Amino acid sequence: MATQAGAATVAGAEAAQPRVARRTLKPERTKTPWWMWIAVAAIVIFCLFPFYWLVNISLKQGSDLQSSSLIPPHPTLENYKTVFQNDDFVKSLRNSAIVALSTTLLGLLVGSFCAYALARLHLRGKFVILGIVLTISTFPQIAIAAPLFKLWSDIGVFNTLIGLIIPYLTFALPLSIYILVSFFREIPRDLEEAALVDGATNFQAFRKVVVPLAAPGLATAGILTFIGAWNEFLLAVTLTSSPAARTVPAQISFFTGATEHEIPYGSISAASVVISVPLIILVLLFQKRIVAGLTAGAVKG
């Protein structure tokens, strides 16, 4: 009995040693230095101050617009009321939503097929193809604005929504393809092969296995495409001539004041805040997916 008790005591001591060791080997949480918090706060203020100043101007009217105070002397929402009473601005909001959503959906649809082919199929020179696709995104928009204006006028799609969606899609596809290729490469081929063994077709395996697993990449590509299409200005101004197809960024440039030479800073600022809020909410809601999509494939193992 004494021998058994001694053995039990030794076993208990040996079992306790790893717990003690693990407790002593646990890394201590390093304290963030104070200067790091100051640096982060300075960067945040530097990034947010332009938007705050935009809101500040949007709450001013009359002589207050000449004031440089950080807080509006007599804050008012009259500028916001004015922009929403502007029928052309409301129509441009609808146009921007249609163009941005259509560009996003078409970009994800076409981009997912192209990215899957580049990531999975044994194509000769597919990396060259990917390089050519990415090169398109480096073209300056001003280089194609004049040719598109002439071409769109000749074929009858000038000043139409489809006339904006097509060129927007040209610049949206390279980014979508690049992001989705990285995601499709990370998905194990075994999952697709298992679906094929179970009787699924290649398209069914792509639609029911690959696409759901690549949801973070699709979300990232969709959000970035939507933001780019929503903010685009040069092509929207060049390829439209009336509020019938003009998007919000272009319509704001046509705001006029009470007199011919007056610049309506308050109304322009209020309209800019209105079109910025949806994008801010979108980024805040999906910031984790955006980061995951941009860093996909950066770390191996």
Q: For residue range 142-193, what is the model confidence (pLDDT) as tens digits?
A: 888 989 999 999 999 999 999 999 999 988 898 888 888 888 888 888 888 8
Q: Are residues 212 and 117 in the same domain?
A: yes
Q: Are residues 61 and 85 in the same domain?
A: no
CA atoms within 13 A on the CB side of 42: 6
Q: Please count the structural domains in the chain.
A: 2
Q: Are residues 68 and 184 in the same domain?
A: no
Q: Check which CATH number belongs to the domain holding 148 and give it.
A: 1.10.3720.10
pLDDT tens digit sequence for 278-299: 888 888 887 776 666 666 554 4
Say if CB 45 and CB 229 are below 8 A apart. no
- Note the pLDDT of residue 49: 92
Q: Are residues 123 and 197 in the same domain?
A: yes
CA 4 vs. chain centroid, Å, equals: 68
Q: What is the pTM of this model?
A: 0.80
Of the residues 53, 76, 99, the one at which a domain ends? 76
pLDDT tens digit sequence for 88-118: 999 999 999 999 999 999 999 999 998 888 8
Of the residues 76, 98, 127, the one at which a domain ends? 76
Measured CA distances, 138 to 89, 142, 271 (Å): 31, 12, 30
Q: Are residues 182 and 48 in the same domain?
A: no
Containing structural domain, residue 40: 33-76
